[in-house]
Every structure is written in structure tokens, then in C-alpha cells.
């Protein structure tokens, strides 16, 4: 059975790159009828944030990425780590190192002066003397001094590391007894049955060290897939300016979970030329061996295009519910279907959809000066008065087509172009140019509100 995991450190919010590896792990487990585990790697007590942990869980809930079993917290597993550290000490595969900070700094300076790679020199590796007083030791693992460590990677192929170039006897427990990252990751992955690890290739340098821990404890080594990073359009590391922001910020900006996940699955993975994938299709088609070997490029326009697609194809009933989060309540509005049908063809985000709807529903309090100069002519007042009279006389008017017929009647009667009435009437309704059809706007706000706005506009002329 395939068992994957996502293991974020709660030292910051969940970002887009982390979410992508979580999605890949989730899809691969679901495709194979396996398990997807969520583990919070909170051993760094000085940098951990409960708020960040809550944000990670909130993001997973919003996106519908449901983990199997309870969420695991490394901070609650200290006894387990202590047990395996003690086992390595007893088996002679780890040892106590009494090197002081001053000694370490002196060693580093000497190595730098000799243009040598900075590394621990193993001085306590086989130490059998009397421990120095007043020094709380760290625990170091006995790493291979020579030979090769091969990472069998499903994306990059086999990667060979020379032990002497990348390893020293790295620390597995600090002087206060707290375990270190590479040790706890290997222990947890083994004990939790994680047999396929999909993660960013910024973790590749950690992998040989974790393999050392696996082998020292006699654990099976999982299959690794190291996913290339996401770059901006200039080919550089993604920054907040480019989109590397808290995942929940995408919700605030008005992106749907479906669009965001669809966008992410295509960052580094493809299935022919297909661009739009349902969750069911992702689970059916995704295979980590098809992940690209090169970095993917973040494209905001692509995300907007996908989000627009999903908004257009979302039922109005669902949109009404979603728009509550953007301070727009349409539940009891009798023309919500007409309003949403018109706006969801234009909006790229739910936030944009909400703002466009509010602009229609709210009575304008001022008129755009440039628009007024362009639209208001000598005959504008007479044209709008004509339309006003026809609107007052119209009984039982509700639908956009009925308002459209009134506008056409004025155009035909006064023998004018549509812009002659359309532009000033649009300003009367919205206070500016733009927006959906005038007939839709007036249908949504209704006859009485349309007349009020017309009166206010005429008074301003």
C-alpha cells in the first residue's frame, strides 16, 4: 500500500510550494487506495507558532485535502525519539560529543584558513576518556566516512553522493536532549509506514543524512520524488510579490479551491495538453514519475483563467453561499439569478464578483468626471427624460428584455445612436462607465430604484 505524507514545520504559514507537494502526495495516495498522512514537524520550539499550525489545518480544510487518521505532532513524540537515540548509543552507532562552541569556532577558522570544507573533525567519535566537566554533550551519529550514498529518486533518477564530501557525524540530539530534524523525519517516516516521499528538491541535500539514520536503525528506505521548485516568470525563486504567499490569502483574494488545486497540479506535471482537471481526474491520472525535471513557472494569468472557468461553471446557489465570505448577501434577493448569470461571465475572482455586484446594488453617491464629460451632451437631459417617462408608464416591468425594449423605443423615436442614451444612463445607474448590460442592471435593482437613480442624475446636470 502506498503511504505518503505532508510534513510542514509550523514556523510560518502554508505557502504555495508546500501546498503543491501536499497535493501531489495526496493524489498519489488516493490513486493507489493508500494513505495520506499529515504530520506537523514542531520540534523547533523556539520558532513554532500555534497560529501557523492552525493556518495549515485551516488551509487543508478549505481545500478539501482530508488526511487519513489524526494529525501527528512531533512535539508529542519525544519519548519515541529518545528511545531510538538511546538504541544508537548502546549499539555504538552514535556517541556523545563534548565539543564546546569555542572549540568548534576554532576548528572552523582553521579549516577556512586552510581552504578546507567546514566540517566536524570526529574528535569524540571514539572517545573513551573522562568527559570534561560542565559540558552538556550533543549526540552525533556515526556516519560513513568513505563510500557512496545513492538516492534513488523517481523524478531525477539515481543521485550519487560521496560520503566524504557531504557527511560528517551530524548531530541527532542537541545538548538539551531535543532531537534534530533529519533524525526525527527518518524515524517518523519509518514508524508511520511512509514508503513514498514527495517533497521539494530543496530537501535533496537532507536525504543522504536521513538515509544514514534509516540504515543505522535498520529501517526500510522509502522511494523519494524530489520536485523541482516553482520559479517566477524571470526564472528566479518565487517571492511574495510573485505569489508565494499564505495559501489562505488566495481564498481572501477570491480564488476557488478547485481552481487553485487545478493550477498547482499543472505546475510541474502534465497529461498531454489538458489544462482543466477535476479532482477525480487528478486522482486518476497523476503519477509522480511524470513530474517534470525542470522548474515550473508561476503564471498569474493562468490561475485567473482557471478561476474564471470554475466561477462560470459554479451554480448560482453555490455562488450565493461562497459570496458570504466576501461580504455579499444575496440569499433573499429576488434577482440574484439574473445578477450572477451576468457577472460570473466577467469576474476572474469571487472578490471581483462581489465588488461588481455591490457596485450595481449600491446607489452611486457621485459621478465619474471623465465619464460625464464624455457622455453628457446638449440633448442628454431630453433623452433621459424621455426614457424616464416611458419607464414610469411601464407596468409590471421586471425582466432585462423589457428594459431593453424601452431603451430601443427611445433610440427609434428620437433617431439617435445607442450610445446617446446608453452612456449617460449607465452613469446614472453606476456612477461610471463599465459593467454588464444596462437592461440587466435595471432589472436587478428594479423599477423604483432605477427611477431614483435617474432623478439624481438629472438633478446633477
CA nearest to 299, candidates 344, 384, 234:
234
SS3 state at 379: coil
SS3 state at 94: strand
In the block, cell 538504541 appears at 87
Cell representation of residue 162? 560521496
**Which residues are CB-contacts of 93 (< 8 A; sequence separation ≥ 6)?**
141, 142, 216
The pLDDT value given to residue 250 = 95
Say yes or no: 290 and 322 in one domain. Answer: no
**Do residues 322 and 354 lie in contact, with contact meaning Cβ atoms separated by under 8 Å?**
no
Whether 9 is covered by a domain: the verdict is yes
How wide is the angle at C-alpha 172 spanned by C-alphas 39 and 43, nearest 5°? 35
Whether 131 is covered by a domain: the verdict is yes
Bridge pairing between strands 72-73 and 94-97: unpaired
Cell representation of residue 280? 477525480
Cell representation of residue 446? 428594479
Domain stop point among 332, 362, 392? 362
Q: How far is CA 437 from the centre of its chain?
A: 35
Whether 121 is covered by a domain: the verdict is yes
The pLDDT value given to residue 418 = 94
Looking from the CA of 83 toward its CB, the CA atoms found within 13 Å total 7
Domain stop point among 292, 313, 334? 313
Separation of alpha carbons 220 and 152, rounded Å: 13
Cell representation of residue 14? 502554508
**Do residues 194 and 4 lie in contact, with contact meaning Cβ atoms separated by under 8 Å?**
yes
Burial of 288-324, coded b for 16+ CB within 10 Å and e otherwise, reads beebeeebbbbbeebbbebbbbbbeebeeeebbebbe
The pLDDT value given to residue 243 = 67
Say yes or no: 322 and 292 in one domain. Answer: no
SS3 state at 46: coil
**Which residues are CB-contacts of 315 (< 8 A; sequence separation ≥ 6)?**
none
Cell representation of residue 230? 516553482
Separation of alpha carbons 247 and 169, rounded Å: 37
CATH classification at residue 300: 3.40.50.620
Looking from the CA of 288 toward its CB, the CA atoms found within 13 Å total 31
Say yes or no: 89 and 165 in one domain. Answer: yes
For the chain, how many structural domains are there in total?
A: 4
Whether 205 is covered by a domain: the verdict is no
Say yes or no: 358 and 445 in one domain. Answer: no
CATH classification at residue 368: 1.10.10.350
What amino acid positions are annotated as catalytic residues? Answer: 240
Backbone angles phi, psi at 199, to 5 degrees: -155, 170
Mark the binding-site residues for ATP, compressed into ranges: 240
Whether 328 is covered by a domain: the verdict is yes
pTM: 0.91
Q: How far is CA 446 from the centre of its chain?
A: 40
pLDDT means per 10 residues in the chain (461 residues)?
A: 95 89 98 97 78 90 96 94 98 94 83 81 88 92 94 96 87 94 97 97 95 97 96 82 81 97 97 96 97 94 97 97 97 96 96 97 96 95 97 95 97 95 97 95 97 97 89
How far from 228 is each of 194, 315, 376, 456, CA to CA, in Å? 21, 36, 57, 59
| Range of the structural domain that residue 346 is part of | 315-362
In the block, cell 457596485 appears at 359
Backbone angles phi, psi at 244, to 5 degrees: -80, 70
Amino acid at each position: 500500500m502506498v503511504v505518503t505524507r505532508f510534513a510542514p514545520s509550523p514556523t510560518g504559514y502554508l505557502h504555495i510550494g508546500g501546498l503543491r507537494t501536499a497535493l501531489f502526495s495526496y493524489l498519489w495516495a488516493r490513486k493507489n487506495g493508500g494513505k495520506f498522512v499529515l504530520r506537523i514537524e514542531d520540534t523547533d520550539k523556539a520558532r513554532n507558532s500555534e497560529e501557523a499550525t492552525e493556518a495549515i489545518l485551516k488551509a487543508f480544510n478549505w481545500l478539501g485535502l482530508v488526511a487519513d487518521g489524526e494529525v501527528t505532532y512531533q512535539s508529542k513524540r519525544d519519548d519515541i525519539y529518545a528511545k531510538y537515540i538511546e538504541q544508537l548509543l548502546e549499539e555504538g552507532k552514535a556517541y556523545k560529543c563534548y565539543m564546546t562552541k569555542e572549540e568548534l569556532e576554532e576548528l572552523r577558522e582553521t579549516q577556512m584558513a586552510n581552504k578546507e570544507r567546514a566540517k566536524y573533525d570526529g574528535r569524540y567519535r571514539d572517545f573513551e576518556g573522562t568527559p570534561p566537566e560542565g559540558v552538556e554533550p550533543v549526540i552525533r551519529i556515526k556516519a560513513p566516512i568513505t563510500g557512496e550514498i545513492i538516492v534513488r529518486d523517481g523524478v531525477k533518477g539515481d543521485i550519487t553522493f560521496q560520503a566524504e564530501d557531504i557527511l560528517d557525524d551530524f548531530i541527532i540530539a542537541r545538548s538539551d536532549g531535543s532531537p534534530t530534524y533529519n533524525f526525527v523525519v527518518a524515524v517518523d517516516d519509518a514508524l508511520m509506514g511512509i514508503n513514498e516521499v514527495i517533497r521539494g528538491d530543496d530537501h535533496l541535500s537532507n536525504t543522504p543524512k536521513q538515509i544514514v539514520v534509516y540504515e543505522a536503525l535498520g529501517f526500510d528506505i522509502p522511494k523519494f520524488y524530489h520536485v523541482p521548485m516553482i520559479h517566477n516568470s524571470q526564472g528566479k525563486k518565487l517571492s511574495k510579490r510573485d505569489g508565494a504567499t499564505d495559501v489562505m490569502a488566495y481564498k481572501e483574494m477570491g480564488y476557488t479551491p478547485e481552481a487553485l488545486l487545478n493550477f498547482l497540479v499543472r505546475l510541474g506535471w502534465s497529461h498531454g495538453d489538458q489544462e482543466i482537471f477535476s479532482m477525480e481526474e487528478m486522482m486518476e491520472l497523476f503519477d509522480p514519475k511524470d513530474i517534470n525535471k525542470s522548474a515550473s513557472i508561476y503564471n498569474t494569468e493562468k490561475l485567473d483563467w482557471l478561476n474564471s472557468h470554475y466561477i462560470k461553471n459554479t451554480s448560482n446557489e453555490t455562488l450565493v453561499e461562497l459570496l458570504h465570505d466576501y461580504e455579499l448577501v444575496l440569499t433573499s434577493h429576488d434577482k440574484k439569478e439574473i445578477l450572477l448569470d451576468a457577472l460570473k461571465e466577467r469576474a476572474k475572482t469571487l472578490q471581483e464578483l462581489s465588488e461588481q455586484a455591490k457596485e450595481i446594488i449600491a446607489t452611486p453617491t457621485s459621478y465619474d468626471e471623465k465619464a460625464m464629460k464624455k457622455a453628457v451632451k446638449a440633448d442628454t437631459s431630453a433623452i433621459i427624460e424621455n426614457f424616464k417617462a416611458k419607464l414610469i408608464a411601464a407596468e409590471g416591468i421586471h425582466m432585462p428584455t423589457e428594459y431593453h425594449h424601452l431603451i430601443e423605443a427611445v433610440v427609434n423615436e428620437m433617431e439617435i445612436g445607442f450610445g446617446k442614451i446608453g452612456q449617460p444612463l449607465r452613469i446614472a445607474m453606476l456612477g461610471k462607465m463599465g459593467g454588464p448590460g444596462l437592461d440587466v442592471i435595471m432589472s436587478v435593482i428594479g423599477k423604483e430604484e432605477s427611477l431614483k437613480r435617474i432623478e439624481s442624475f438629472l438633478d446633477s446636470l
